[in-house]
Structure 1
Amino acid sequence: MSSVHSDAARVLGARIRDERHRFAINQMELAELAGLHFTNLGKIERGQANPSLHTILRIAGALNVNPAVLLDGLSADMLPDRPHKVTVADLIRAREAGEKPTP
């Protein structure tokens, strides 16, 4: 059995599942409306897949919700393999202070 891809994937999947339940449709119905295979949708809902932007837009469109509803509050801090914790704001501050930012 696959594990959760990331906290962000888990939250996104739960939101999609909640929206699907709100409309009282099953995974096969939503997958059909979104142009996906139902097994792929199942993996997304369980947080075991990292859907592409196109897939997120297809799902949001099928659910008739703004994609922002599904993505609100998700951040890079929810990803397990984020290479740097430095943001552009940190980089600019360090540059202005004549320093090199540390990751």
Structure 2
Amino acid sequence: MSSDGSDASRMLGARIRDERQRLALNQMDLAELADLHFTNLGKIERGQANPTLHTIVRIAAALNLNPAELVDGLSADQLPQRSHGVTAADLIRAREAAARADPA
């Protein structure tokens, strides 16, 4: 696992850390409540880990948050570069254009 996380990972981690601190919990407390190892929680908070959906939901539940609050506003632009920039909308438009050009 790389120590160079994405902007999205860092933002998620900061949101978790901020809420944990607002509740006056330490990492060990939150990790126990979320059924995680505290070192894993530390990596998540520093943006060095890419937590699974299950982990995000467990952390949110322990913080009494809707998981959407932790990921709201995060976008693909905050992730490492993809091998291509094509989206589903791009693919659909290309297929529709090809169908119009060749109505066979």
- When the two structures are superposed, what TM-score results if normalisation uses the length of structure 1? 0.88
Question: Whose Rg is larger?
Answer: 2
Query: Following TM superposition, by how much is the alpha carbon of 1:90 offset from its aligned partner in structure 2, in angstroms?
Result: 0.9
Q: 1:44 is matched with which residue?
A: 44
Q: 1:84 is matched with which residue?
A: 84
Instruction: Name the Cα RMSD after superposition.
Output: 1.4
Structure 1: how far apart are the matches of 2:12 and 2:56?
9
Structure 1: how far apart are the matches of 2:61 and 2:82?
29
Is there any run of 5+ residues in structure 2 with no aligned partner, and where?
100-104
Percent same amino acid at aligned positions?
78
Give CA-to-partner distance per residue, 1:18-59, whole Å, 9 cap, x none.
110111111010001000111110000000001011110110
How many residues get paired?
98
Is there any run of 5+ residues in structure 1 with no aligned partner, and where?
none
CA contact (8 A) 1:8 1:74 kept: yes
Structure 2: how far apart are the matches of 1:46 and 1:81?
20
- When the two structures are superposed, what TM-score results if normalisation uses the length of structure 2? 0.87
